[in-house]
Amino acid sequence: MDFSQVLIPVIVIAPLVALIAFAMKRQPAKRAPIPTLQPSPVRALSRKELTTSRSTTVVREITLSASYEKKLARVLKEPGEKGPLHQVPLLPPFYIGSRSELARAFALLDAPEPPRALAITSARELAGVGRTAFASVLARVLAERFSGGEIYVDLRGDDAMPSGIADAMRQVVRTLNPAATFSADEAALPAQYQKALTGRSVILLIDNVRPQPFVELLRPPAGCLLLITSREPAAFSRFETVALEPLSRLEAREFFRATGSRIAREPDKYLDLLAELSGFLPAAMRPNSERYQDQPSQSIDGLFDQLKKADAFKNPLSAALALTGKATAVAPKKAPQKAAREPDLFSKFSGPENAAGPEPASLEEEAAAARAIGNRAREARALAALGQARMQNGEPRSAVACFERWIEITRESGDRLAEADALGWLGAGWVRSGLPNRATGCFEAKIRIAREMGERGIEARAHGDLGKAQAELGEHQQAADSHAEQLRIAMEIQDRASEVDALEQLGVAWTKLKDIEKAATFHEKQLLAARETGDQAAECRALGHLGHVALHRGEIEDALAKYEAQLDLASTLGDVPQQSHAHASLGVAWARQGDLRKAVAHYEQQLAIARQTQNRLAEATAFSNIGSGMERLGDLAGAATAWESALAIYESLDSPSANSMRRWLDRLRKNDASG
């Protein structure tokens, strides 16, 4: 062999190979690709009911890094609460699913400028996907970054009487400073909350939050992290958000295997069917597997039959909790149906549906009977009627509980327009209960549903209800914006009744905002539209509003003319409240004109109507007005008698106006003593 023929290629190739090897050493080693779970072949399930799976259609990748997997394994072995500033709820002994969502959350929080607030919500507003467990896992894994501990607050968003943002702030402040005191003025609370957290390094886990105004006030200062959970993602559009889906089929199998219980020994096809009967929801899968474990004599087919009888294919979470004796939860939705009606939430109840209706006691029995036989549609009708009857009887707080249960049923059935109807009534209940801050979230949710369903009329009226709630909160610019949107839609769809309402409320809002000329424009349009549509009640109110405008302008004669026209029309219509308003306004106008005797005469008419209608607050206002007129007439004894009567009523009503009455009486007595 000619070695020169071999040696030359070796001399040429060897350095080249060495150079390639050296270059490869200089490059960083490629990471192994993240494994993707591939579904193992299984036989098609033979059960007829197993049609469209609730599981996520695409199998998700396990993208959680190895370091976070180790941290997760460590925190799952740790005990629950470790001290007063380590309040995260006890975690389950295993945590399966949501790995890709966990990875997204950690990616957000590991960014160079991480968010100070992260919302954990549910895809499609599903209940039972494990928001609290997910947030608790996040908090436990991240606890090493926040030396000040973790504070947990449950706002009970699914309860009939949920807590609000102010309650959360107070609990956080009180946890950090048990001796803290709070001002009666809630406007000072956000600053106190921020001050308590400034300079600290804590995680806040605010759980079960119902959408409501001012939720952004919970965002903590730098150095802290807020984790907030809610079923409704739309309410947290200004937060970084992670929306949880039901488990995939493979994650569901892993969940059942991780329990280590009897269910873990069943074949995959049975695990798939149990997952389907559980809606692929951890909150249903856990009790279903525990039930199978706790009843060793029961076959897997027996468990399936029990769940089918409880309608688990339709309402998996409700069925799982019903079999364990727990409260019924909100279940998936089906095709929407048309709502029966759309009430005017802020007007007096009227019409055949509210006149001489069933007594509340019989409606309670009807609702209970329907619940006992599982007739949810019948129960919903009874709850709606019961809530409305309680509203009519002046019991709005009791009505709220009925409307809450009504909403649950509409969400189970997927009747979106009925849900909008129920949300509107719930908002009205909160307003009548003196809690308009809780009403705004209801009306905003109603607006979203109306838009989704293309119901422009419902959307317009919901904007109107939202504006009225905002006005109750003193948010007059926001109210004006809401009513402007109501007016725009009403004119677009030619809904004259909603148009008249929007014009009136816009005039009221701009009066509050002290733009009298703009207010006058809207009330003049209101008067014209009311006359065109034959709405004499709205015409009567418009005359009163225009009287106020004239009074603001100093045009007393014009104001008197408008108020007299209002009184005449109210008398013709038999509208007693408007008669009372007209007499009160005429009293003010005649006092401005300098004719105090006419003013007092109208105040006395206001008093007579208040007594006739048993309106104690209006009676106190009339006494207050009479006292003012008497004082200016020089009848100090008569003024004192009237103001003492007003004071007694204000005190019985626990009204803040009692303080004004006391000051007026003190001033009157001092003047009388010095004279």
> What does the alpha-carbon distance between residue 504 and residue 519 come to, in Å, rounded to a whole number?
9
pLDDT, tens digit, 9 for 90 and up, residues 269-283: 888 888 887 877 887
The residue written with tokens 């219509």 in the block is 573
Which helix (DSSP H) or strand (DSSP E) does residue 119 occupy? Answer: strand 117-122
> What does the alpha-carbon distance between residue 567 and residue 579 come to, in Å, rounded to a whole number?
5
Has residue 303 got a pLDDT over 90?
Answer: no
Alpha-carbon 17 to chain mean position = 69
User: Whole-prediction pTM value?
Assistant: 0.48
Partners of 227 in the beta sheet?
118, 205
Task: Report pLDDT for 28.
Answer: 37
> What does the alpha-carbon distance between residue 269 and residue 275 come to, in Å, rounded to a whole number?
10
Coil/strand/helix, residue 227: strand
Has residue 125 got a pLDDT over 70?
Answer: no
Amino acid in the structure at residue 674: S
Task: Report pLDDT for 491.
Answer: 92
- Average pLDDT across the chain, whole number: 77
Q: What is the mean pLDDT of residues 355-378?
A: 71
> What does the alpha-carbon distance between residue 524 and residue 545 come to, in Å, rounded to a whole number?
9
* Choice between 381 and 94, residue whose per-residue pLDDT is larger: 381
> What does the alpha-carbon distance between residue 671 and residue 414 come to, in Å, rounded to a whole number?
68
What's the Rg (C-alpha) of the chain?
33
Has residue 193 got a pLDDT over 60?
Answer: yes
| φ/ψ of residue 15, rounded to 5 | -60, -35
Q: What is the mean pLDDT of residues 330-342?
A: 36
Least confident among 51-55, 104-108, 163-167: 51-55
Q: What is the mean pLDDT of residues 46-53?
A: 36
> What does the alpha-carbon distance between residue 315 and residue 330 come to, in Å, rounded to a whole number?
8
CA-nearest of 467, 471, 537, 472 to 500 is 537
Percent share of the chain, pLDDT over 70: 78
Task: Report pLDDT for 35.
Answer: 28
| φ/ψ of residue 121, rounded to 5 | -125, -175
**pLDDT level of residue 331 (50, 70, 90 thresholds):** very low
Task: Report pLDDT for 63.
Answer: 63
pLDDT, tens digit, 9 for 90 and up, residues 403-422: 988 998 988 888 888 899 99
* Choice between 43 and 133, residue whose per-residue pLDDT is larger: 133
Task: Report pLDDT for 97.
Answer: 62
Give the strand order in the sheet containing 225-229: 150-154, 203-207, 225-229, 117-122, 240-244
Amino acid in the structure at residue 272: D
Has residue 294 got a pLDDT over 80?
Answer: no
**pLDDT level of residue 586 (50, 70, 90 thresholds):** very high
pLDDT, tens digit, 9 for 90 and up, residues 425-439: 999 998 888 888 888
Task: Report pLDDT for 326.
Answer: 46
Highest-scoring range by mean pLDDT, 53-67, 267-281, 537-551: 537-551
Task: Report pLDDT for 654.
Answer: 73
Has residue 136 got a pLDDT over 50?
Answer: yes
Alpha-carbon 154 to chain mean position = 15
Has residue 521 got a pLDDT over 90?
Answer: yes
> What does the alpha-carbon distance between residue 575 and residue 556 come to, in Å, rounded to a whole number?
25
Q: What is the mean pLDDT of residues 606-624?
A: 85
pLDDT, tens digit, 9 for 90 and up, residues 459-511: 999 999 999 999 988 899 999 999 999 999 999 988 888 899 999 999 999 99
Amino acid in the structure at residue 146: F
Task: Report pLDDT for 293.
Answer: 73
Task: Report pLDDT for 124.
Answer: 67
Has residue 340 got a pLDDT over 90?
Answer: no
Has residue 102 got a pLDDT over 60?
Answer: yes
> What does the alpha-carbon distance between residue 393 and residue 255 come to, in Å, rounded to a whole number?
51
Has residue 84 got a pLDDT over 70?
Answer: no
* Side-chain-side CA neighbours of residue 473 (13 Å): 24
Q: What is the mean pLDDT of residues 310-326?
A: 67
Percent share of the chain, pLDDT over 90: 20
Has residue 451 got a pLDDT over 60?
Answer: yes
Partners of 205 in the beta sheet?
152, 227
Task: Report pLDDT for 337.
Answer: 36
Q: What is the mean pLDDT of residues 594-618?
A: 87
| φ/ψ of residue 241, rounded to 5 | -130, 140
**pLDDT level of residue 560 (50, 70, 90 thresholds):** very high
- 203-207/240-244 β-pairing: unpaired
**pLDDT level of residue 64 (50, 70, 90 thresholds):** low
Least confident among 201-205, 351-355, 371-375, 572-576: 351-355
**pLDDT level of residue 515 (50, 70, 90 thresholds):** very high
Q: Spell out the residues 6+ positions from residue 668 whose beta carbon is closer than 8 angstroms to its own.
A: 631, 636, 639, 640, 643
Q: Spell out the residues 6+ positions from residue 434 whose beta carbon is closer than 8 angstroms to its own.
A: none
